[in-house]
Structure 1
Amino acid sequence: MAELIYHVAITADGYIADPNDIADDSIFLYEGDHGPDFLADIKGYGIALMGGKTYEVGLKDGVKPGEPWPLAKFANPDLKHYVFSSKMEMESNEEVKFVKENTIEFVKHLKKTTNERIWLCGGGELAHSLLYHELIDTLILKVNPVMIGEGISLFGSSKKQIQLELIDLKKYNNGVLLPKYRIIYK
Structure 2
Amino acid sequence: MDFSVKPVLTGDRTVLRPFTEADAERMWDLVNDPEVTHFTGSPPGELTPRVLRDWYGSRSAQPDRLDLAVTDPADGEVLGEVVLHAWVPEDRTCTFRTLIGARGRGRGIGTEATRLIVGHAFEALGLHRVQLDAYAHNHRALRVYEKVGFVREGVRREVEQRDGVWVDEVLMAVLDHEWAVHRGHPDTPRRRDVPRPGPSGAAVTAR
State the TM bucket, normalised to the shorter chain: 0.3 to 0.5
**Which has the higher Rg, Structure 1 or Structure 2?**
2
Higher helix share: 2
TM-score (norm 2): 0.32
